[in-house]
Amino acid sequence: MNRKNKIVLFLLGLFIVASLYVYFGIYYHSYIDIEKVSAEVEISSGELTSFFILNEKSANSIYRGKVIEVEGIVKEVTFLNNRNTVLLQGDTKYSSVICDMRSNQIEEIKKLKQGQKIKIKGVCKGFLKDAILLNCMLINKKSNE
Protein backbone atom coordinates (compact mmCIF):
# COMPACT_ATOMS: atom_id res chain seq x y z
CA MET A 1 0.00 0.00 0.00
CA ASN A 2 1.45 3.35 -0.96
CA ARG A 3 1.64 6.41 1.25
CA LYS A 4 -1.30 8.17 -0.43
CA ASN A 5 -3.67 5.24 0.23
CA LYS A 6 -2.58 5.06 3.88
CA ILE A 7 -3.37 8.76 4.35
CA VAL A 8 -6.78 8.37 2.72
CA LEU A 9 -7.62 5.34 4.90
CA PHE A 10 -6.44 7.18 8.02
CA LEU A 11 -8.60 10.22 7.22
CA LEU A 12 -11.59 7.99 6.44
CA GLY A 13 -11.19 6.19 9.77
CA LEU A 14 -10.85 9.52 11.58
CA PHE A 15 -14.05 10.75 9.94
CA ILE A 16 -15.95 7.61 10.98
CA VAL A 17 -14.74 7.87 14.59
CA ALA A 18 -15.68 11.59 14.71
CA SER A 19 -19.14 10.84 13.28
CA LEU A 20 -19.78 8.13 15.87
CA TYR A 21 -18.64 10.49 18.63
CA VAL A 22 -21.03 13.20 17.48
CA TYR A 23 -23.93 10.77 17.20
CA PHE A 24 -23.44 8.86 20.44
CA GLY A 25 -21.69 11.51 22.50
CA ILE A 26 -23.83 14.49 21.68
CA TYR A 27 -27.05 13.70 19.83
CA TYR A 28 -27.99 10.30 21.25
CA HIS A 29 -27.33 11.20 24.89
CA SER A 30 -28.89 14.66 24.65
CA TYR A 31 -32.29 13.31 23.57
CA ILE A 32 -34.66 13.07 26.51
CA ASP A 33 -38.13 11.56 26.26
CA ILE A 34 -40.05 14.42 27.88
CA GLU A 35 -43.20 12.35 28.38
CA LYS A 36 -41.38 9.87 30.64
CA VAL A 37 -39.29 12.30 32.69
CA SER A 38 -40.41 14.43 35.61
CA ALA A 39 -39.45 18.08 35.65
CA GLU A 40 -36.50 18.95 37.87
CA VAL A 41 -37.65 22.56 38.27
CA GLU A 42 -40.96 24.43 38.06
CA ILE A 43 -40.76 28.15 37.33
CA SER A 44 -42.70 30.98 35.71
CA SER A 45 -41.59 32.36 32.36
CA GLY A 46 -40.99 35.79 33.90
CA GLU A 47 -38.75 34.39 36.64
CA LEU A 48 -36.79 32.26 34.16
CA THR A 49 -36.00 35.15 31.82
CA SER A 50 -35.24 37.41 34.79
CA PHE A 51 -32.69 34.92 36.19
CA PHE A 52 -30.96 34.65 32.81
CA ILE A 53 -30.87 38.42 32.33
CA LEU A 54 -29.50 39.07 35.83
CA ASN A 55 -26.85 36.31 35.86
CA GLU A 56 -26.65 34.13 32.77
CA LYS A 57 -23.74 32.04 34.06
CA SER A 58 -25.54 31.15 37.28
CA ALA A 59 -28.83 30.50 35.48
CA ASN A 60 -27.06 28.18 33.02
CA SER A 61 -25.62 26.17 35.89
CA ILE A 62 -29.10 25.79 37.42
CA TYR A 63 -31.31 25.24 34.36
CA ARG A 64 -29.27 24.33 31.27
CA GLY A 65 -29.73 20.73 30.15
CA LYS A 66 -32.47 20.08 32.70
CA VAL A 67 -36.11 19.22 32.17
CA ILE A 68 -38.15 22.14 33.49
CA GLU A 69 -41.81 23.13 33.66
CA VAL A 70 -42.51 26.72 32.74
CA GLU A 71 -45.83 28.44 33.39
CA GLY A 72 -46.56 31.59 31.46
CA ILE A 73 -48.77 33.65 29.18
CA VAL A 74 -48.82 32.86 25.46
CA LYS A 75 -47.21 35.74 23.59
CA GLU A 76 -47.23 34.14 20.14
CA VAL A 77 -47.55 30.78 18.36
CA THR A 78 -45.64 30.21 15.10
CA PHE A 79 -45.41 27.44 12.53
CA LEU A 80 -42.36 28.51 10.47
CA ASN A 81 -39.85 26.26 8.67
CA ASN A 82 -41.47 23.04 9.95
CA ARG A 83 -40.95 24.23 13.54
CA ASN A 84 -43.87 24.59 15.93
CA THR A 85 -43.00 27.26 18.45
CA VAL A 86 -44.79 28.80 21.41
CA LEU A 87 -43.43 32.04 22.85
CA LEU A 88 -44.23 32.75 26.48
CA GLN A 89 -44.05 36.29 27.87
CA GLY A 90 -40.87 36.99 29.77
CA ASP A 91 -39.92 39.45 32.48
CA THR A 92 -39.86 42.36 30.01
CA LYS A 93 -41.55 43.02 26.68
CA TYR A 94 -38.17 42.34 25.00
CA SER A 95 -37.65 38.86 26.48
CA SER A 96 -39.57 35.63 26.21
CA VAL A 97 -39.28 31.88 26.55
CA ILE A 98 -39.05 30.18 23.16
CA CYS A 99 -40.59 26.71 23.38
CA ASP A 100 -39.77 24.48 20.41
CA MET A 101 -42.66 22.02 20.54
CA ARG A 102 -42.65 18.32 19.72
CA SER A 103 -44.34 17.48 16.41
CA ASN A 104 -47.06 15.46 18.18
CA GLN A 105 -48.21 18.66 19.94
CA ILE A 106 -49.30 20.52 16.80
CA GLU A 107 -53.07 20.01 17.19
CA GLU A 108 -52.98 21.18 20.82
CA ILE A 109 -50.90 24.28 20.13
CA LYS A 110 -53.12 25.29 17.21
CA LYS A 111 -55.86 25.79 19.83
CA LEU A 112 -53.77 28.18 21.96
CA LYS A 113 -54.69 31.85 22.05
CA GLN A 114 -52.56 34.88 22.77
CA GLY A 115 -52.88 35.84 26.43
CA GLN A 116 -53.76 32.31 27.55
CA LYS A 117 -51.98 30.93 30.63
CA ILE A 118 -50.31 27.55 30.00
CA LYS A 119 -47.67 25.23 31.40
CA ILE A 120 -45.01 23.64 29.19
CA LYS A 121 -42.35 21.03 29.95
CA GLY A 122 -39.09 20.94 27.98
CA VAL A 123 -35.31 20.81 28.09
CA CYS A 124 -33.67 24.16 28.82
CA LYS A 125 -30.86 24.87 26.36
CA GLY A 126 -29.82 28.31 27.55
CA PHE A 127 -30.34 31.94 26.70
CA LEU A 128 -29.87 34.09 23.59
CA LYS A 129 -31.94 37.20 24.37
CA ASP A 130 -34.72 34.69 25.10
CA ALA A 131 -34.69 31.52 27.18
CA ILE A 132 -34.80 28.46 24.93
CA LEU A 133 -36.61 25.18 25.62
CA LEU A 134 -36.47 22.23 23.23
CA ASN A 135 -38.48 19.04 22.84
CA CYS A 136 -41.44 20.69 24.61
CA MET A 137 -44.88 19.42 25.40
CA LEU A 138 -47.95 21.16 26.69
CA ILE A 139 -48.74 20.14 30.28
CA ASN A 140 -52.06 21.92 30.68
CA LYS A 141 -54.08 24.85 29.47
CA LYS A 142 -55.73 27.38 31.73
CA SER A 143 -58.38 29.88 30.84
CA ASN A 144 -57.48 33.56 30.84
CA GLU A 145 -57.08 34.63 34.46
pLDDT in tens, 131-142: 999 999 998 755
pLDDT per residue as tens digits for the range 50-109: 999 999 999 999 999 999 999 999 999 999 888 899 999 998 888 999 999 998 999 999
pLDDT for 145 equals 45
Residue 19: Cβ within 10 Å count? 10
Task: Specify whether the CB–CB gap between 88 and 130 falls below 8 A.
Answer: no
Q: Which of 134 and 24 is assigned the larger pLDDT?
A: 134
DSSP helix/strand/coil, 121: strand
Consecutive H or E run containing 96: strand 96-101
